[in-house]
């Protein structure tokens, strides 16, 4: 198995470190959507959503498919979908501890 350095891991995890990015991932977890569809679903603005989509692409979590003038975004693959599901499974177990955590160290 490829050994991944800690900086690469941190860049990957950064994709999950913002509420809007997690909302986008959940929005496209099961089906691809255009920026307009994501903006409408999240009730956000296109510029902000587009910036977060660029981050998610840069982190390797999503891919885009051009169709005419629209780009359709989807979660990269089943492994990323499984990871999102695993987050939910783990969070069910630790949610009480997380709720009590008010110290975040950078």
Residue 105 binned pLDDT confidence (cut-offs 50, 70, 90) = low
Residue 7 backbone phi and psi in degrees, to 5: -65, -40
Interval 2-57: pLDDT, tens: 788 999 899 889 999 999 999 999 999 999 999 999 999 999 999 999 999 999 99
Give CA 72 to chain center in angstroms: 15
Query: Rounded to 5 degrees, what angle do the CA atoms 86, 89, 91 make?
Result: 105
Domains of the chain: 8-100 (1.10.10.10)
How many whole angstroms separate alpha carbon 101 and alpha carbon 98?
5
């Amino acid at each position: 198995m490829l050994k991944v350095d800690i900086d690469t891991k941190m860049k990957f995890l950064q994709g999950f470190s913002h509420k809007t990015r997690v909302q986008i991932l959940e929005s496209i977890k099961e089906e691809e959507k255009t920026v307009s569809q994501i903006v409408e679903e999240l009730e956000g603005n296109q510029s902000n959503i587009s910036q977060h989509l660029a981050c998610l692409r840069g982190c390797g979590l999503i891919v885009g498919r051009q169709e005419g003038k629209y780009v359709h975004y989807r979660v990269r693959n089943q492994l990323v979908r499984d990871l999102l599901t695993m987050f939910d499974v783990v969070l069910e177990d630790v949610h009480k501890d997380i709720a009590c955590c008010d110290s975040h160290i950078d």
